[in-house]
């Protein structure tokens, strides 16, 4: 039997999201989440299609959406740690007929947030790889430890199964030094690994490739600006399939205005708040990551609610929207300059895929750069189930195509994982 399935695991500190994908056709065979790991009342929600059909993408919402005609199982019990949680996931998959020992399972693909400068491609996990991910913990203290736990636990459940680490930073490792370095003392920067790494890499990779496909071109033939606008948000400039600049930096705090994160500020704001306002370093960290961005400006981080308030004439919401759009527009202009020639601008993630007002406002006045939306197309509801929502919203014959492309990070992780194990397998047979 050929192994054509990949289990994708996204392990957080107290949760694990998972999807089982069939690579022959990209269909989802199961999806789920375990939440509140380590608490008395952990919760596992598992959904699977009735008969091998499509299970909706489980990456975005709180819990996986229920496939129409599919099955949804929920369990509330104590999962003391990731080991207990993953064992429960394995039992659910087993009940669906594809457990971790199933010969159809080719590998497990793990999302890992930070790969530093070391990991420039998806990587088959061994002890040395685990040690390196551990060495990078100071760069992602909240995420890499949880990602590591997910990998070591999955490995112990089936030691023979290939485990592949797919890094959020990898897609951006092609950035040239002049885009990746901060203009600070080189010795200090190098000693402390301070440089621009970028995040959301699997999304930028997936969306830029899908956009090329929509234009009927090979990724090597097109230049694309990708705008990943979710609760976290980042932009990237992709030349011929390779990232040449991105808006997030050492951490996911730099760049665009986000749901709760400030994005770009004068670095001296931090010094001012510590020295003059007497805030602690942790206090400033909290402020910039959790109480800034849209929520800091108007109390809401959901773009739907903000638009409702704007439509009701609320000034505070209007200003928050305008600041969000102004920053976005600056990055679009900057990346037009970085790329020189732009073939497409692609909007993705919660806001990018769903908010016609954000897309329209971000491109308003940029006709001189060849950028505009067709209002009817921009405002039309996407047709068909995701990911069929991918569509062009610029006018016919526009110099630059504007695309809305639903992202699919799990599919991208699965694709990269499968490619790697298939290559490794064929190399072993040669």
Binding-site residue positions:
10, 111, 228-232, 302-304, 350-354, 409
- The DSSP code sequence of 218-277 is -GGG-EEEEEEESSSEEEEEEETTEEEEES--SSTTSSS--SS---S--THHHHHHHHTS
Whether the link from the prior residue into 387 is cis, omega within 30° of 0, is yes
Task: Give 15 or 174: the residue with its C-beta nearer to ligand AMP.
Answer: 15
As annotated, the binding site for Mg(2+) includes 10, 409
Among candidates 123, 116, 118, 104, which has minimal Cα distance to 52? 104
Shortest CB 227 distance to ligand AMP, Å: 12
Given 96, 168, 300, 408, the catalytic residue:
168
Does 304 bind ligand AMP (CB under 6 A)? Our answer is yes
Number of chain positions touching ligand AMP (CB under 6 A): 13
Among candidates 3, 14, 16, 5, which has minimal Cα distance to 151? 16
Among candidates 399, 394, 325, 393, which has minimal Cα distance to 369? 399
Among candidates 74, 84, 24, which has minimal Cα distance to 48? 74
8 A C-beta contact, residue 122 and residue 92: no
Q: Is 343 assigned a catalytic role?
A: no
Which of the stretches 323-331, 335-343, 348-356, 415-423 binds ligand AMP when contact is defined by CB under 6 A? 348-356
Does 135 bind ligand AMP (CB under 6 A)? Our answer is no
Does 289 bind ligand AMP (CB under 6 A)? Our answer is no
8 A C-beta contact, residue 14 and residue 40: no
Work out which of 230, 293, 387, 406 binds ligand AMP, going by CB under 6 A: 230
Work out which of 108, 225, 237, 351 binds ligand AMP, going by CB under 6 A: 351
Work out which of 83, 302, 316, 419 binds ligand AMP, going by CB under 6 A: 302
Residues 240-279 that bind ligand AMP (CB under 6 A): 259
Shortest CB 303 distance to ligand AMP, Å: 4
3-state secondary structure of 87: helix
3-state secondary structure of 396: coil
Shortest CB 61 distance to ligand AMP, Å: 8
Q: Which residues bind ligand AMP (CB under 6 A)?
A: 60, 230-231, 259, 301-304, 349-351, 354-355
């Amino acid at each position: 039997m050929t192994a054509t399935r990949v289990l994708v695991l996204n392990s957080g500190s107290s949760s694990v999201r998972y999807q089982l994908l069939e690579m022959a056709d990209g269909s989802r065979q199961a999806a789920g989440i375990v939440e509140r790991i380590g608490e008395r009342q952990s919760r596992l929600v598992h959904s699977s299609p009735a008969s091998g059909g499509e299970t909706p993408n489980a990456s975005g919402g709180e819990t996986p959406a229920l496939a129409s005609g599919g099955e949804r199982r929920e369990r509330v019990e104590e999962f003391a740690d990731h080991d207990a949680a993953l064992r429960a996931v394995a039992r659910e998959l087993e009940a669906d007929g594809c457990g971790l020992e199933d010969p159809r399972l080719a590998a497990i693909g793990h999302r890992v947030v930070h790969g530093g400068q070391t990991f420039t491609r998806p990587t088959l996990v061994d002890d040395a790889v685990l040690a390196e991910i551990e060495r990078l913990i100071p760069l992602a203290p909240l995420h890499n430890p949880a990602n590591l736990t997910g990998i070591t636990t999955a490995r112990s459940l089936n030691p023979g199964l290939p485990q592949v680490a797919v890094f959020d930073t990898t897609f951006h490792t092609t950035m040239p030094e002049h885009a990746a370095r901060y203009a600070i003392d080189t010795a200090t920067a190098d000693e402390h690994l301070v440089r621009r790494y970028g995040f959301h890499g699997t999304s930028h990779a997936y969306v830029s490739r899908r956009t090329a496909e929509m234009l009927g071109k090979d990724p090597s033939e097109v230049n694309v600006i990708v705008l990943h606008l979710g609760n976290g948000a980042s932009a990237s400039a992709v030349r011929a399939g390779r990232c040449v600049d991105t808006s997030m930096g050492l951490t996911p705090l730099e760049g665009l205005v986000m749901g709760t994160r400030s994005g770009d500020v004068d670095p001296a704001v931090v010094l001012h708040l510590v020295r003059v306002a007497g805030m602690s370093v942790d206090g400033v960290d909290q402020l910039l990551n959790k109480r800034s961005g849209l929520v800091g400006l108007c109390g809401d981080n959901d773009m739907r609610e903000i638009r409702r308030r704007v439509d009701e004439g609320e000034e505070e919401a209007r200003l928050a929207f305008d600041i969000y759009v102004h920053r976005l527009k600056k990055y679009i202009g900057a990346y037009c300059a970085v790329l020189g020639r732009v073939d497409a601008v692609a909007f993705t993630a919660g806001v990018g895929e769903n908010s016609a007002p954000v897309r329209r406002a971000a491109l308003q006045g940029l006709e001189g750069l060849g950028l505009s939306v067709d209002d009817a197309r921009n405002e039309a509801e996407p047709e068909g189930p995701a990911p069929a929502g991918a569509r062009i919203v610029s006018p016919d014959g526009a110099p630059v195509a504007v695309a809305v492309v639903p992202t699919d990070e799990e599919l991208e992780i699965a694709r990269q994982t499968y490619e790697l194990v298939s290559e490794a397998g064929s190399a072993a047979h040669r």
